[in-house]
Structure 1
Amino acid sequence: MTSTAASCLLFLTMKSLEEAELCFPELLNSSCRKDMRPHSVSMLTYILLTSISLLTVTLNLLVIISISHFKQLHTPTNLLLLSLAVSDFFVGFIMCFQIVVIEGCWSFGDLMCTLYHYLGFIITATSVGTMVLISVDRYVAICDPLHYPNKVTQKRVKICVCLCWICSVFLDSLLLKDNLEQPGRYNSCFGECVFVINYIAGLADLFFTFIGPVTVIIVLYMRVFVVAVSHARAMRSHTAAFSLKCSVSVTANKSELKAARTLGVVVVVFLVCLCPYYCVSLTGTLIDASTATFVICLFNFNSCLNPVIYAFFYPWFRKSIRLIVTLKILQPGSCETNML
């Protein structure tokens, strides 16, 4: 082989490799490059994100069908669970786009990129806001049980849920105004999906979707925990004076402690899933692709755990799953089924 032929072959080989690393090979000078990762890492990421997405969509869809279909489940607390399930359902749905961009190439255009990020901000804010409403509901139910039926009604809960969604849309529209007015304004090449918010908007988002809600949730749940423990201690002290009520007291004691432990798990899981993501946002440090993927997966995994934490602890949910899977909900009058 002559030196000229060898040089030509080397040039063609290098060109083909370069095109293979581009998102759009036909746009040689303006295309973004793919994120070249080991095949095993890419496959693991695909499997992880796909599993979380399918599980999140399935579990939350079961919660949505259960609460919407059975009339006996139309309670104020379950309406909050329904709102949370709807927002978490969309979290699982938009994770499909994260699976598509694993290689670092966006193929749906600037408008879809903007809508994808915009919807993600709204859903996250709504999910966190609904969790705050749930913590308020549990606080009133445990700390002021006598006035709970009058304070927490279906009408008030519906209004609060609607306001939560409306405020999330309004707030995120203000924070993301620049991106919405000119989609793709921060993209440096074709195949990129960049969404940038300024420093002030970032701080506002951090406060309204993390620092503020987390503070409220922790304060309310700590108060609930203290009340639950005090009730358990009071029941223990009464067992010594009233032996005839011993069995009832022990049952109530176990129930209170179980509720306290459950609330502790809720807070811990919520913080574990969300803290890494917002800590990275707060520090503003640059992280590698693998760490970013892990943080995002953990953040989204919270939406998968929410139906497990808030719904699987209820016997009616297990019963509704059996009715849904066996298609008994399609029978006439199934919405009147006794679920409690």
Structure 2
Amino acid sequence: MELRHLRYYVAVAEECHFGRAAQRLHIAQPPLSQQIKQLEADLGVVLLNRSTRKVELTEAGRRYLDRAKEILASVDAAAQEANRVAVGEVGRVAIGFTGSATYHMLPAIARTLRVELPDIELDLQGEMLTPRQAAALHDGTIDLGFLRPPVHDRLLRYEVVTTEPMIAVIPRAHRLAEEDSIEIADLADEVFVTYAGFSRSVVFEVVVDACQRAGFTPTIRHEVGETATLVSFVAAGLGVALVPQSVQHMQITGAVYVPLHGEVPTVELAMAMRSEPPSPHLERVLTCLREALPQIGAGTLS
């Protein structure tokens, strides 16, 4: 039995007329009649009662019609789904976000993709430092990463999506908490809370370099792996910190964000992926994000 036999039978059963069914199927009537007889022979069941005046379904024929239509509908649905997958309308994309991007970019990107690509399943993973994202891209844990370049890896490629200044985070009770802006040199005598060092955080290297340019080497008391922990430590009075400006979207009682003036360091945020050609659904996500990211980066996308 082939699918065409089911399609032939459904047409005859619905029309209850071989001539009309043949016209509907765009085939000649004699071959259609032979195909239905062959189907009945294969099944060992009489599906249709034929007379010179009409064609009627037997009880078995009515039940078989219901099942045949279900099968054909399932086959058609499977074909449609396969086509949607092939053109990228359906799929799953895992996206990683570095610490500061977790609190601004992740919610905005999630909202955008949910509206624009509702049938693509998202797996969003926050608080991933750049080295961890690079490893996750390699092993396929994530398909796309928002990280801090540079990434010295020929198997990965990235495109910068925004550049933002660094700002200070200080305890609310600190002597500088009420200032409109400060210079990095004003923090020379403070102890610092930073992201993990030893090449595990691009921001760590930016902070140390900025302090040295300001004439001092920072006294680092605490190294943490997550932005929420870093700001919480500052709020608890355990030190001060320099963070990307987007971190100020995360409000923690006891911590105050203060802009910098003078020589203000900046950090880039990049969209990274494997250097191989993207899957169709990842390509759709990339196209959507390239259009939306200028607004997201400017904080104008609700």
TM superposition score normalised by structure 2: 0.24
Which is helix-richer, 1 or 2? 1
TM superposition score normalised by structure 1: 0.22
Which is strand-richer, 1 or 2? 2
**Greater Rg over alpha carbons, structure:** 2
